[in-house]
Chain A
């Protein structure tokens, strides 16, 4: 893969305004978007007659059962026909020029009109994936079956991913133990520069040495608890931050009753919740304005969250509350960023391999696993990534029955 950086932008050139592919979807079709957020290929299946449905319906096309279930379905099929749309009524597609589309007959039954990877051939075998487009909605994409085709290997489809290649990344907290690994992984994935925010330069920290050794890392002052500091850095690099990874986190063990006061809780909220809001208010507008700014346009906002954001983990009860607040805020950010196409990716992890969770039983998420999950999530253009066994387990339980999960966790069975 070419590592030649894109040419510098002419300062006389107007920054292209972001446009979106069509956004209107029915409620049923939005379930496809929800699955695409996690990179899952699902279709509705009738639990009574096993008929697989597409497009999304409110009743079974075979037996009128109104209780259709979304489930993972064999994504294999045959490409029946294809076309290149040269003239579109939609600005997003017009700006991108010729756009390939095809009809795939799935082995599972239905025919699917979908985006086509450039390596797909008519009457050839393909597999479908379900990913978010820049409107934030799920779309079907055909890739050649068995091949190693990726979104990145097709110039048209690369727009659906948040590929770090050539992009400039800001990691917000130099002090977090995972920062050196994240910086390295992003650079290895092709990022041009990794900016790292450093709070309280008057206080030394162990990861600094490791960071100093990584080439193309720039350490800059940033304290997410200090509005002025966040605004200063945004003024400095907000116009060239293409991917922002917020790994700033304040964590102490204990729940409501173990804490004698709101002291730690307010620090948790200051860093984990208000810190995110400060970053969003300072960096969001600049990034949203640059989502169509060429090869290294602003593309994604990554929040590292604990999976206890989904359901409170009493041993880290008030921390979990701050994570739930941050998750809720990330949903708000998605709504606010939606028109720009700037993707908000939440990477949820279970217990991480760091000092504050030392007494927690394994499995724990190592920095390298987190780094891989972030890079993969960006490349696949995901919105929700569950990193590690614990996060995936909790997410599955959450999807199935949030009330049951709460009972399981508060009863200590999953604590």
Chain B
């Protein structure tokens, strides 16, 4: 039965009946990273240093050394990323069961609200509206908040003002609802974090990070192409690098979308 399923899947990928959507931004030195108050440690930007390029440093080959943070570019947050998840079992990327890296994904369309309001909040009511149309969010699914924020570039992406960045995110109530009432696997966004730009001003600060990781859930952020995903029915492949005690990892996020998915 399973063998048959995989064979069918392979065939349908080959024919294009199942599309593979790349949800990843290119790792680029110019891609924004989260900015914390400067007295705190900062997220390293992505950097490449040429080790050799078919030259005197290595005549027949080209390669680079990379510098980056676990949380640079499109990346995965493990529970150990936040203080609330620091004592959980299997809370680092190397300890998470690999089966968690493949699973269903629900996409909540927040594009209208995000277009009007940089500080748009995903609330329990917003989730209810989504469910009214697309059905209840199933247990152990990834939930993505689609804002089309990934189409922004340059200064508009972080949208940094004198009072900090402004970008959409979930309210504490919404994220708690997804965790406690829907028992989701993880939460993903197109913005630089799973929290809103102004998330520091919620109680608790950065509620998505706080509650998700406290409950052993995962985060995905800096994703792209969420507009190519159906609200339900896509299968997500999101496997972080196996970094010893890693709290997260840049990764290639992909989704399998069946032809005719709603």
Direct contact of A and B (CB under 8 A): yes
Could you list 17 examples of A-B contacts with CB < 8 Å? A200-B32, A201-B30, A201-B154, A202-B157, A203-B158, A203-B160, A204-B155, A204-B161, A223-B29, A226-B47, A227-B47, A228-B29, A228-B48, A229-B29, A261-B41, A263-B42, A264-B41
Interface presence of B45 (CB below 8 A) = yes
Q: Which residues of B contact A241 (CB under 8 A)?
A: none
Q: How far is the CB of B118 from chain A (nearest CB, A)?
A: 14
| A260 nearest CB neighbor, chain B only | B41
CB nearest to B46 among chain A residues: A226
Q: Are B154 and A263 in contact (CB under 8 A)?
A: no
In the complex the two chains form, what is the Cα distance from A252 to B154 in whole Å? 27
Indicate whether B50 reaches chain A with its CB closer than 8 angstroms: yes
Within 8 A of A (CB), among B131-169: 153-155, 157-158, 160-161
A204 and B47 in contact, given A226-B29, A263-B41, A267-B42 (Cβ under 8 angstroms):
no
Across-interface contacts of A225 in B (CB, < 8 A): 45, 47
Would you list which residues of chain A between 179 and 223 have a CB under 8 Å from chain B? 200-204, 223
How near does chain B come to A347, taking the closest CB pair, in angstroms? 25
Q: Is there an interface contact between A227 and B50, defined as CB atoms closer than 8 Å?
A: yes
Instruction: Compute how far the CA of A197 lies from the CA of B29 in the bound complex, rounded to whole angstroms.
Output: 16
Question: Known: A252-B39, A261-B41, A264-B41. Is A200-B48 also a contact (CB below 8 A)?
Answer: no
**Among B48, B154, B158, B161, which residue has its beta carbon within 8 angstroms of that of A227?**
B48
The distance in angstroms between the C-alpha atoms of A252 and B42, with both chains bound, is: 12
> Which of B30, B38, B41, B47 lies in contact with A200, CB distance below 8 A?
B30
Tally B residues with Cβ within 8 Å of A.
Answer: 20
Residues in chain A near residue B88, CB distance under 8 A: none
Whether the Cβ atoms of B155 and A202 lie closer than 8 Å is yes
Kindly state the interface size class of chain A when it binds its partner.
10 to 19
Given the complex of chains A and B, what is the CA–CA distance between A30 and B243 in angstroms? Answer: 55
B125 contacts partner chain A, Cβ-Cβ < 8 Å: no
B35 proximal to A (CB < 8 A): yes
Residue B49 interfacial (CB < 8 Å): yes
* Count of A-B residue pairs with CB < 8 Å: 42
Q: How long is the Cα–Cα vector from A263 to B38 in the complex, in angstroms?
A: 12
Q: For chain A, what secondary structure do more than half of its interface residues adopt (helix, strand, loop), or is it mixed?
A: loop
Residues of A within 8 A of B153 (CB): 202
Q: Which residues of B contact A229 (CB under 8 A)?
A: 29-30
Cβ contact within 8 Å between B155 and A203: yes
Chain B proximity mask over A262-288: 1 for CB below 8 Å, otherwise 0: 011001000000000000000000000
* In the bound complex, CA of A226 to CA of B44 (Å): 12
The residue in A200, A202, A226 that gathers the most chain B C-beta atoms within 10 A of its C-beta is A202
Are A202 and B29 in touch, CB under 8 angstroms? no
Give the complex CA separation of A276 and B161 in angstroms: 30
Residues of A within 8 A of B39 (CB): 252
Nearest B-chain residue to A221, judged by Cβ: B30
The 4 closest A-B pairs by CB, nearest first: A226-B29, A202-B32, A263-B41, A202-B154
A222-269 residues with Cβ-Cβ distance < 8 A to B are 223, 225-229, 252, 261, 263-264, 267
How far, in Å, is A11 (CB) from chain B's closest CB?
Answer: 29
By beta carbon, the residue of chain B nearest A261 is: B41
Q: Which residues of B contact A267 (CB under 8 A)?
A: 42
- Residues on the B chain within 8 Å of A252, using CB: 38-39
Shortest CB–CB separation between residue A209 and chain B, in angstroms?
12
Q: Which residues of A contact B161 (CB under 8 A)?
A: 204
Complex: A226 Cα to B50 Cα, angstroms: 11
CA distance A261 to B42 in the complex (A): 12
**Residues of B close to A226: CB separation below 8 A:** 29, 45, 47
- B35's partner among A203, A223, A264 (CB-CB below 8 A) is A203
Chain A residues whose CB sits within 8 angstroms of the CB of B45 once the complex forms? 200, 225-226
Q: Which residues of A contact B32 (CB under 8 A)?
A: 200, 202-203
The minimal Cβ–Cβ distance linking A297 to chain B, given in whole angstroms, is 30
Q: Contacts of B155 on A, CB cut-off 8 Å?
A: 201-204
Across the two chains, which residue of chain A brings its CB closest to B41? A263
Residue of B nearest to A205 (CB): B160
Q: Which residues of A contact B160 (CB under 8 A)?
A: 203-204
Which chain A positions have C-beta within 8 A of B42? Answer: 263, 267
B159 to chain A, nearest CB (A): 10
How far in angstroms is the closest Cβ of chain A from B116? Answer: 22
A264, B48: Cα distance in complex, Å: 19
Tell me which residues across on chain B come within 8 A of A204, comparing CB atoms: 155, 160-161
Q: How many whole Å from A200's CB to the nearest CB in chain B?
A: 7
Find out whether the CB atom of B35 lies under 8 angstroms from the CB atom of A227. no
> A252-B39, A261-B41 given as contacts; is B158 within 8 A of A202 (CB)?
yes
Q: How far is A229 from B30 in the complex, measured between Cα atoms in Å? A: 9
Can you name the residue of chain B whose Cβ is closest to the Cβ of A266? B44
- Shortest Cβ distance from B32 into A: residue: A202
Q: A264 CA to B38 CA in the complex, in Å?
A: 10
